[in-house]
Structure 1
């Protein structure tokens, strides 16, 4: 049996590989990490996966036809994690080139080799930015190049599945994914609080749907390995109910033994500052208009479907932050 992971050297992929090695892989099974970067290079999560024995690391660009040497089996599973995702951070065309072409090449690869199981990591970005609660049945209205590219990629995977009723496709739409090696929103939030430059931007009740990376990969395992199903299904992957930014900050401070007062600043004033500071390098500390805007708008994502599907969560919010802190030897969150 082959576990074929496109984008396996990234944040989520490295945690998925570790879980598969620890709990799933048996003699004769193979894990393929197919990525444009390899362990030890820029973009790889340090200290999570470093050339694990038995993992086949192959440098590959999903924007091009996929070819590598392996022996297909009827039970093979593809995890398509490959994406250009940080926003802001890339020219618009890069989201479309990688996320759409990647969906086309991965599904063509599955078609060629008779692989009938794919899990695709999408995003909550296809829902668009708005305060209203989003369920899997909500009509997507993406308003960023990243969100548009992910929605198109979802449709490409759905077309692949529709060609054969025996095929299994799971699309996951995670909220903010956090944990060791993230180096993103939660990491910046922690260090912003710790260094006393994080402030609440106009409100404390902004909803920020999120999920711990170890929880996310456990659900991937549950869905693709512990269950058999036919057809296509979409899951929002987030705590239910989703937490507010104040609840997240309080949990983060409590679990890392940090006492701080976080001031509430007028949102318009902070946005004006970001427009001036952002072009001068403010993005490094989160003072960038796009990131300030993110803090002011809720990602109000409903996780009821995941909560009620039979999967049992392993972590609460506080337990997950404590586990992350432990993974970092109690020295911070990285």
Structure 2
């Protein structure tokens, strides 16, 4: 049996591989990690993405037809994590170029090798930015190039599944994914509090739906390895109910033994400061107008379907933060 992981040297891919190695892989199984960058190269997050024994790493650009020869079996599984995702940070066409061509080429690879199981990691971005609660049945109204590209990529995968009723497709729409090696929203939030440069932007009740990377990997294993689910299904992957930014900050401080007072500053003041700081390296501190705006708007994603799916969460929210802290040697969240 082969586990074929596109985007396999990335944040989620590496955590999934560690879980597979620990709990799923038999001696005759093979894990292939395909990515445009290899462990140890520039562009790969240090400290988390290292070569893992027993994994075959293959350089692959999903924007091009996938030329990868494999002795496929009927039980093989594809995990498609390959994407351009960081916002802000890319030109609009780059999201479409990677996310659409990637979906087309990965599904064509599956057809060529008669692989019948794919898990595709989408995003909550197709819902668009708004305060209203979003369920899997909510009409997507993306308002960014990234969100639009992810929605179309979902449809490309759905078209692949429709070609054969025996094919299995799971689409996950994770909230903010955090854990060791993230170096993103939660990492910036932690260091912003620790170094006293994070402020609540006009409110503390902004909802920020989120999921621990190890929990997400466990749900993927549950769907694709532990069970069979012919057809197609979509899951918001978040804690239910979702947490507010105020709750997240308090739990983060508690889990990491940090005591901080976080002031509440009017949003317009922070937005003005962010605009002024852009030419002076504000991005490095997370003080960018797009990021301030994201903090002021809820990502209110409903996780009830996941909670009712039969999957049992392995961690509580507080336990995820403590586990992450332990993974980092209790030296801070990285």
Name the TM-score, length of structure 2 as normaliser: 0.99
Task: Give, in whole Å, the separation in 1 of the partners of 2:301 and 2:277.
Answer: 31
Deviation at 1:325, TM superposition (A): 0.2
1:184 aligns with 2:184: yes
Task: Give, in whole Å, the separation in 1 of the partners of 2:12 and 2:134.
Answer: 23
Deviation at 1:14, TM superposition (A): 0.4
RMSD: 0.8
Task: Give, in whole Å, the separation in 1 of the partners of 2:221 and 2:95.
Answer: 27
Q: Residue in 2 aligned with 1:195?
A: 195
Structure 1, residues 36-69: CA drift from partner, whole Å, max 9, x if none? 0111113334343422221110001000010113
Task: Give, in whole Å, the separation in 2 of the partners of 1:109 and 1:156.
Answer: 13
Task: Give, in whole Å, the separation in 1 of the partners of 2:283 and 2:49.
Answer: 28
Q: Residue in 2 aligned with 1:317?
A: 317
SS at match of 1:319: helix
Q: Residue in 1 aligned with 2:262?
A: 262
Contact 2:10 2:49 in 1 (8 A): no
1:62 aligns with 2:62: yes
Unaligned runs of 5+ in 2: none
SS at match of 1:196: coil
Contact 1:18 1:49 in 2 (8 A): no
SS at match of 2:311: coil
Q: Residue in 1 aligned with 2:282?
A: 282
Deviation at 1:279, TM superposition (A): 3.4
Q: Residue in 2 aligned with 1:92?
A: 92
SS at match of 1:193: helix
Task: Give, in whole Å, the separation in 2 of the partners of 1:295 and 1:226.
Answer: 37
Q: Residue in 1 aligned with 2:39?
A: 39
SS at match of 1:170: strand
Q: Residue in 2 aligned with 1:122?
A: 122
1:1-334 correspondence runs (5 A): 1-334=1-334
Name the TM-score, length of structure 1 as normaliser: 0.99
Question: Which range moved further: 35-44 or 139-148?
Answer: 35-44
Deviation at 1:141, TM superposition (A): 0.2
Structure 1, residues 136-164: CA drift from partner, whole Å, max 9, x if none? 00000000000000000000000000011
Task: Give, in whole Å, the separation in 2 of the partners of 1:187 and 1:141.
Answer: 28
Question: Which range moved further: 48-57 or 137-146?
Answer: 48-57
Stretches of 4+ moved more than 6 A in 1?
none
Task: Give, in whole Å, the separation in 1 of the partners of 2:229 and 2:292.
Answer: 41
Task: Give, in whole Å, the separation in 2 of the partners of 1:165 and 1:291.
Answer: 42
Structure 1, residues 223-246: CA drift from partner, whole Å, max 9, x if none? 000111111000000000000000
Contact 1:14 1:45 in 2 (8 A): no
Task: Give, in whole Å, the separation in 2 of the partners of 1:274 and 1:307.
Answer: 38
Task: Give, in whole Å, the separation in 2 of the partners of 1:70 and 1:236.
Answer: 32
Task: Give, in whole Å, the separation in 2 of the partners of 1:185 and 1:51.
Answer: 25
SS at match of 2:330: coil
